[in-house]
Structure formats: structure tokens, C-alpha cells
Amino acid sequence: MPVTAVIGTQWGDEGKGKIVDLLAQDADMVIRFNGGNNAGHTIENEHTKDMPEGVAKLHIVPAGVFNSRTLNVIGAGTAVHIPTLAQEISELKSGGLNVNNVIISKKAHLVMPWHVLLDEAEELKRSPKKKIGTTKRGMGPVFAAKHARKGFRAGDLLRTDFRDRFFDQYNEYELILQILYRHWDIPNPSVMYREFMEYAEQVRGLICNAENEIDSYLNRGSNILLEGAQAMLLDIDHGTYPFCTSSACTIAAASQGSGIPANRIDERIGVVKAYSTRVGPGAFPTKLEGAMDNKLREWGKEYGATTGRPRACGWLDLPLLSYANRRNDFTSIAVTKIDVLHSLPQFYVGIGYKNCSEHEQAVCEDVSCGLEEGSQAALRPVDGWNSDISGITKYSRLPKKARAYVRAIEDAMKTKAKFISVGPHREQTIIR
Ligand code: GDP
Ligand code: IMO
Ligand code: MG
């Protein structure tokens, strides 16, 4: 393995958590390197049996937490909502897990209570066409504060001037919230501080110079997994801006957000869901409407792991997958949720874009047109295999037509599918 990054190739929720949990069985370290608790990574394995619905939904704790031998790092590039982290650890403990293998980089930013209030207020103020559909977890404001160099970092919690800075910044954001957003219902600063510190006390002991640990694991040649949150098309620079998240999500972010030099990342696994989903507005050329949209959502249980919102469903978009590969240069891909398509005699893939204003041809293959709001895909039919494949563990046992579908994805991405996931459980994975 030695250093392997797991990156989402679409609009998130491809099954990154499942793949990280699977690979973490052999990992010495797992590092979350971007995003915050806007992420929801669902894990189903022998340790999650006694958890609600038999699964764990991780928002900020890295998905290597189920292997007690794995050190799980919440890395420098993340934004940590302390109450969510404290609650998540306590829920994992209630589910019978020993959570003594998580650390937080001193450099990770903190989602402060006013970031969450401001995210909500900004979203409320946007006109219907401009709403981003954020998870309301404070991501825009926390990453704005980071880049304005006024953010709080986890290491600041260990400093004696934390309380003074907390109150100073409360005053600043109170003004913004009241004057710009007419938001008057802001909790009193002392109450806010007390609540914040109650949670902070629970995780204070986890904060350390995590990069020293990362360096020593790297020097020993240990197996390190870099766990991506969100995905290629939600990336702040290369995604469907402004309908995207506020942190970077590509392989470049895996290096920057973990502190591992780019040339030390050996493997780059792109996680590809066998169809597309998106939560929130923005370009979605292969988006379905009506009965088929509903069917995919029900079969694939496509409801957000963080907000519970229904995910819009559509077919796979091959040019966008090729684009994801150009930005990340994957060494292999993991195709997930292919079992969900099992009962369809025929379905479709997007092969380009229709009615594009910039190009003459009937089917435009320029992906920059696909990333435009309102773009519509030109589709090609695919033969279905019409049989349940959720129990198959060998590639050669997959129906011929399912293998042909995997091959079409491989061809579009010029990358081999090393993993085929045929169900949510860790064991439901074909490894080639
Ligand atoms: P992530 O954000 O990329 O980690 O993905 P999520 O956990 O948000 O969403 C993926 C959903 O699909 C979760 O409910 C997983 O349990 C589930 N899942 C993952 N892989 C498979 C698969 O191969 N088949 C099926 N049916 N479900 C899967
Ligand atoms: P995982 O890691 C799916 C989407 C939100 C919204 C946009 C901006 O589980 O794949 P934000 O709260 O980040 O400001 O919201 O990004 N979004 C996700 N969609 N999976 C995620 O994470 C997401 N994280 C953010 O729905 O459209
Ligand atoms: Mg998710």
C-alpha cells in the first residue's frame, strides 16, 4: 500500500467510507485530510452490528477507527466541529468500540458556533436560484476564516488566550449576523463558551503535533491511507463552483491537507458509484426525473448520511469521470453500488452534452460544458444483467454484462477497477 489516497470521483457519497474501512484492515494510519462534518461516511462491518441500523455514520472520525491497530489522524486540512467529534466518539464507545486510536492535528481548524449560524444565515438570504444547499455545518464560514487568517485551530485550545479570542470573535460575528443578516437569536457568549468548553474538555487530550507522528510513520514505510471527503465535482477549484464545498477534494488536497509530500503518495484510488447522485443544486447532466429517479433512490437508499436529504439520482457520466481521472491520475478505481442496478434490463450512461451553446456538434464532449448549470447529457444505452450479484465475491462470477459495464467505466477512465463493491458490508467486495 504504503501511502494510498481514496478520492471521490463524483458529487460525494460514492462509498469512500466503505473502501477506507476495507483497506484500513491493513493500514497503520488513516488520515482525514479535508472537509469537516459535512461528510457522512457509512461503515458496515462486524464491529457495527450493535450500532443503530447496524452501521456507523462517521462525520469527522476517520474510517480506520475500527482497526484498533490503526492510528487515525484528523489532519491539518480539516475543519473540526468539536461537539460533533465528542458525540461521535461517545456513540462509537456506546456501540462497544474502544476509541483510543484517534488524534487531532494542532493545525486542524475549528468550526466555531458562529460559523454554523453564519452558514445558515447566508443560505437563508440567498435567492432561490443561488442557494447552494449546504449541509449547514459551517463549512463556508470556517474555510473563509482560515483563508482570512483569523481562524481558530485545534492547537489554540491549548493556549491561555483562547477565552479572550473566543469572546473577541464572538463580538465580530455577532455584528455581522445582526447587521447583515438580521439574525437576532444568537445565544449569549458565556453560554456559548461554556457549552463549547464542555465538549472541548472531552477531546483536548487528542490534540497533538500529528505531523510528527505522520513523519515517523512515513519514515518507517508504514501503510498510510488518506481518506478523502466530498469529491472531485464538489472541489472548490475544479468542481461545479459555486455549487460545491469550501475545501479542496482532489489528490492535491490529500497531500496539502495531510502534510505528506505529493511524490510520496503511491496509490490513488478513485471511488466511482455505478450511477450518479447529488445532494443540493448545481450541474447534473445525467439527472433523472420521475419514476426512475425514485427507483434508484429507493434501491440505493440514497438519503444523505449527514442531513438525511434525498439525493437526486442519475446515470453515470463518462466524460465527467474521465475529467476526474485527468485531475487525479488514479492508479486504480473502486466501482461501488453496482448491485443497485441489478433488476434493470437496460439503463444508460452519459457520453457527452446536448444543445451546448459553444460547440456545433450534436454531442459535445467538452467537459467544461458538462460542468455548466443546466447542461443535459446525451445518453447511450447499456444492457443490464438482470440478476442479484450482491453475494458474488469473485470477478469471474459476475455476469458478463456486469463485467462489460465495469469495462466501459475502465475505458472511460483509462484505469483498472481493482475493487468492485456489491453491497454495503465490508465483506461484499470483489478484489481483483
Ligand atoms: P461516502 O460519503 O462516500 O463514504 O458514502 P456514504 O456513506 O455517504 O454513502 C454510500 C452509501 O452506500 C452508504 O449507505 C453505504 O453503506 C452504501 N454502500 C457502499 N457501497 C455499497 C455497495 O456496493 N452497494 C450498496 N448497495 N450500498 C453500498
Ligand atoms: P461525503 O464525504 C455529498 C454538498 C452539499 C452541498 C455542497 C456544499 O459524505 O461524500 P457544504 O456543507 O460543504 O458547504 O455544502 O456540498 N456536500 C456533500 N454532498 N457528500 C458529501 O460528503 C458532501 N459534503 C458537502 O450537499 O450541495
Ligand atoms: Mg457521504
Whether residue 325 has its Cβ less than 6 Å from ligand 2: no
Residue nearest to atom 20 of ligand 1 (CA): 424
pTM of the complete model: 0.97
Question: Which residue has better confidence, 374 or 347?
Answer: 347
The pLDDT-based confidence of 306 (bands split at 50, 70, 90) is confident
Answer for the pair 1, 267: CB distance below 8 angstroms, yes or no: yes
- Residue 331, class by beta-carbon neighbours within 10 Å (0-12 exposed, 13-18 middle, 19+ buried)? middle
Average pLDDT for the chain: 96
Angle between the N-to-C axes of helices 400-413 and 318-328, in degrees from 0 to 180, rounded to the nearest 10: 50
Buried b (16+ CB within 10 A) or exposed e, 172-201: ebbebbeeeeebeebeebeebbeebbebbe
pLDDT at residue 229 greater than cutoff 90: yes
Q: Give 255-267 as a DSSP string.
A: HHHHT--GGG--E
**CA distances (Å), 303 to each of 42, 85, 277, 282, 330, in order?**
11, 22, 10, 18, 28
Angle between the N-to-C axes of helices 82-94 and 189-203, in degrees from 0 to 180, rounded to the nearest 10: 50
Question: What is the number of the ligand closest to the CA of 135?
Answer: 2
Q: Give 4-73 as a DSSP string.
A: EEEEE-SSS-SSHHHHHHHHGGG-SEEEE-S--TT--EEE-SGGGTTSGGG-EEESSS-TTTTSTTSEEE
Q: Give 344-403 as a DSSP string.
A: -SEEEEEEEEES-SS--SSSB--HHHHTSTT-EEEEEEEE---S--TT--SGGGS-HHHH
pLDDT at residue 73 greater than cutoff 90: yes
Residue nearest to atom 11 of ligand 1 (CA): 15
Whether residue 77 has its Cβ less than 6 Å from ligand 2: no
Determine the pLDDT at residue 365.
86
Round to whole Å and give the CA distance between 9 and 68.
Answer: 29
**Cell match 510528527: residue?**
212
CA of 358 to the centre of ligand 3 (A): 34
Q: What are phi and psi of 3, to 5 degrees?
A: -115, 120
238 among known catalytic residues: no
**Cell match 477506507: residue?**
20
Q: Tell me which residues have their CB closer than 6 angstroms to ligand 1.
A: 8, 12-18, 40-42, 44, 301, 305, 336-337, 339-340, 421-424
Whether residue 273 has its Cβ less than 6 Å from ligand 2: no
Report the first-to-last Cα separation within the chain, whole angstroms. 15
The one catalytic residue among 21, 28, 41, 235:
41
CA of 57 to the centre of ligand 1 (A): 10
SS3 content of the chain, % helix, strand, coil (to 5): 40, 20, 40
Mean pLDDT of 210-226: 98
pLDDT at residue 237 greater than cutoff 80: yes
pLDDT at residue 192 greater than cutoff 80: yes
**Cell match 461545479: residue?**
240
Determine the pLDDT at residue 248.
98
Determine the pLDDT at residue 370.
87
pLDDT at residue 1 greater than cutoff 80: no
CA of 18 to the centre of ligand 3 (A): 10
The pLDDT-based confidence of 423 (bands split at 50, 70, 90) is very high
The pLDDT-based confidence of 203 (bands split at 50, 70, 90) is very high
Q: What are phi and psi of 112, to 5 degrees?
A: -90, 160
41 among known catalytic residues: yes
Mean pLDDT of 315-320: 98
Mean pLDDT of 321-345: 98
Give tens-digit pLDDT for 397-420. Answer: 999 999 999 999 999 999 999 999
Whether residue 139 has its Cβ less than 6 Å from ligand 2: yes
Question: What is the number of the ligand closest to the CA of 20?
Answer: 1
Determine the pLDDT at residue 301.
97
State the closest ligand 1 atom to the C-alpha of 422, by its place in the atom list counted from 1: 23
Mean pLDDT of 344-362: 86
Determine the pLDDT at residue 362.
80
Residue nearest to atom 21 of ligand 1 (CA): 424
DSSP letter (8 states) at residue 136: S
Which cell numbers hold the place of 151? 481562524
Determine the pLDDT at residue 412.
97
Q: How many CA atoms lie within 13 A of 87 on its CB side?
A: 10
Residue nearest to atom 12 of ligand 1 (CA): 15
Determine the pLDDT at residue 211.
98
The pLDDT-based confidence of 305 (bands split at 50, 70, 90) is confident
Determine the pLDDT at residue 170.
98
Chain Cα centroid distance, residue 371:
19
Question: What is the number of the ligand closest to the CA of 277?
Answer: 2
- What single-letter amino acid sits at 300? G
Residue nearest to atom 13 of ligand 1 (CA): 42
Q: Give 152-168 as a DSSP string.
A: -BGGGGGSTTHHHHHHH
Determine the pLDDT at residue 63.
98
